[in-house]
Chains A and B, each alone.
Chain A
Amino acid sequence: MFRRTLPMILAFTVGVFMIVQFFVPHPQLQMLYNMVLDWKQVVFGCVLIVGTMTLIRHHALRVRFRKQGYGYSIIALASLFAMVLAAIFWGIETGPYSWLFTNVQVPGQATMFSLLGFFIATAAYRSFRARNVTATLLLLSGVIVMLGRVPAGENMVIGGVSLADLATWILDYPNTAAKRGILIGVGLGMTSTALKIIIGIEQSYLGKGE
């Protein structure tokens, strides 16, 4: 009962409620919907504590058993506790917490994001090798779109057609058509997944055996 039936009833009730509130704009339903969103925040807050405990446990075990790269775990744990202590004693608006966030975390994140540029270069090199007809088509359209989007290429003309216009055409028609094809499939897949759970056909989240 508590293992299977109750979760299924809950999933069905909440699922149907979500569908109904999507179509009925009654203030009471919207209020309930907002309440559900608030509950989610409360659940998130509680689970975040559990998550942090697993993080500490994970790294503590790595340090305890001297696993490969355990030095990084020491840094991770030290950083975690340093930030918590800094926030408790000096607050988060000013002081060491704010300083560490601005001068360590933000540049660190920016560095990771910047690495994307190099990864795009290596990925593009692999993708744009003209090994067959489709790869050649990809290379050609990639070159046209890239050139058509930079100032140097905007004034170029091929066969009486501006490169910028050609790039826009590729993005607006073949590219959009392919994207919409994917999105239609995604929409149906999402609806199917949600309905399977609401109706109770899909029960893997309950641990249903084969």
Chain B
Amino acid sequence: MTYSAFSVFLSVLVATGAAAIDFEVVDTPHDGGGSLTLRWEPVARSAVAESVISLGLFRTDGSGEPRGKRADLAFGDSTFFDERLTNGQRYTYEIEAVFPSTITVLARAEGTPSLQWFRTDRIAVFFGVVLFTGLLLWFTYHARSGRQMFIRRIAGLEAVDEAIGRATEMGKPIMYIPGISSMEDVATIASVQILAQVAKKAGEYGTRLMVPNRDPIVMAVAQEIVKESYNQIGRPDLYIQDDIYYVTYSQFGYAAAVSGIMLRERPAANFLLGMFYAESLILSETGNTTGAIQIAGTDSDAQLPFFITSCDYTLIGEELYAASVYLSREPMLLGSLKAQDFAKAAVLALILIGTLLSIAGDTQFAGAFR
């Protein structure tokens, strides 16, 4: 932690017989400066004096500004964040007790806010990102050189062809639901990458693809992705903009609309890939009742049990992110899967070392990752 601010700890025993308060003012850690954190022991009315009316926090700075009241404090309070301060300027704070006829200073402390240039509390994340980027580049380089890489079989992704083929044989459409989150969610990015592969396969079979969206930005991206996929397989004529449309931003309104479409259009294959919330079971159970083959995938651990119960295949967590690579089999991208596997092995090794050290009584190693 970067406690670069000048911090003074001062306890004032007041003449009225009130108890001393441990009071400190420190520069707020890991921020862009301009704020101080004030901490003190919570004080009970009885510890000061029964006749006290209220507690107040006052601030003085060296700029010539008059002393001013910052806040009224409750007796149970113990912290206060003072913001919009000038970096490098020293501020003096006083906690005062207001009596019927007098005001008494209970504690006084000083502090100076300063700017931090690096979030030291995120140092473990920083090294993790650097190491992972290194691994990714290393394996991508090896993948470019044509080295064969073994990727374990993922049943849910092997079934994509089967699901699209079934829809083609039955002459029914395919429904692709890219979750209900926005484009800034990485699960949605992964989902539209899978959509590109599904659209190509659906286009090869000449099967209609429907994509109802909850987010208009996701809709715009999905339209472009599907159009581009059809172009790549030489079937731009298959693209129907009307099939990739916006439904509503309301979560349960979306669930109701998509359930209705499932019941009316009876798609033979449903893909539910992306970020889902409480509507996951409504969608997947409705799809289940229509007899569609369902492939689901999400990184939301709370929704996974629902998908596992209601869908034929479920991509669990990281499999969602591996799906587009798995389906495209692009050598450059396969390297990233290997990097993920190695990073996972490294994390497991760190967990094992941390567990053993913690059992041995050393908690510093595990603490460094908090």
Contact = CB atoms under 8 A, between A and B. Distances in A.
Interface stretch (A42-50, A92-100, A147-155): A42-50
Contacts of A30: 32
Contacts of A126: 309-310
A173 interface: no
Contacts of A27: 32-34, 115
A68 B216 contact: no
Interface in A97-156: 105, 108-109, 112-113, 115-116, 119-120, 122-124, 126-127
A199 B136 contact: yes
Contacts of B301: 179, 182-183, 186
A204 B196 contact: yes
A188 to B, nearest CB: 5
Nearest to B186: A190
B245 A54 contact: yes
B278 to A, nearest CB: 6
A96 to B, nearest CB: 18
B336 A192 contact: yes
B48 interface: no
A174 interface: no
B190 A193 contact: yes
Nearest to B223: A54
Interface string A33-49: 00000001001100110
Given A51-B246, A191-B129, A194-B186, A116 B317 contact: no
A57 B335 CA distance: 43
A160 interface: no
Nearest to B249: A48
Contacts of A23: 118-119, 122, 125-126
B15 to A, nearest CB: 43
A19 interface: yes
Interface in A12-71: 19, 22-27, 29-30, 40, 43-44, 47-48, 50-52, 54-55, 57-58, 61, 68-69
Contact of A25 (B119, B322, B330): B119
Interface string B11-29: 0000000000000000000
A205 interface: yes
A49 to B, nearest CB: 8
Contacts of A68: 264-265
A75 B249 CA distance: 18
A63 to B, nearest CB: 13
A204 B192 CA distance: 9
B336 to A, nearest CB: 5
A196 interface: yes
Interface string B119-146: 1001001100100110011001000000
Contacts of B343: 188
Of A29, A72, A205, most B-chain CB atoms within 10 Å: A205
B318 A199 contact: no
A33 B333 CA distance: 29
A122 to B, nearest CB: 7
A188 B322 CA distance: 11
Of B137, B228, B244, most A-chain CB atoms within 10 Å: B228
Contacts of A190: 186-187, 299, 321
Given A123-B306, A186-B318, 15 more contacts: A24-B119, A25-B116, A27-B33, A50-B220, A68-B265, A69-B260, A108-B252, A108-B253, A112-B282, A119-B282, A123-B285, A182-B318, A185-B344, A190-B186, A201-B333
Interface of A: 19, 22-27, 29-30, 40, 43-44, 47-48, 50-52, 54-55, 57-58, 61, 68-69, 72, 105, 108-109, 112-113, 115-116, 119-120, 122-124, 126-127, 179, 182-186, 188-197, 199, 201-202, 204-205, 207, 209-210
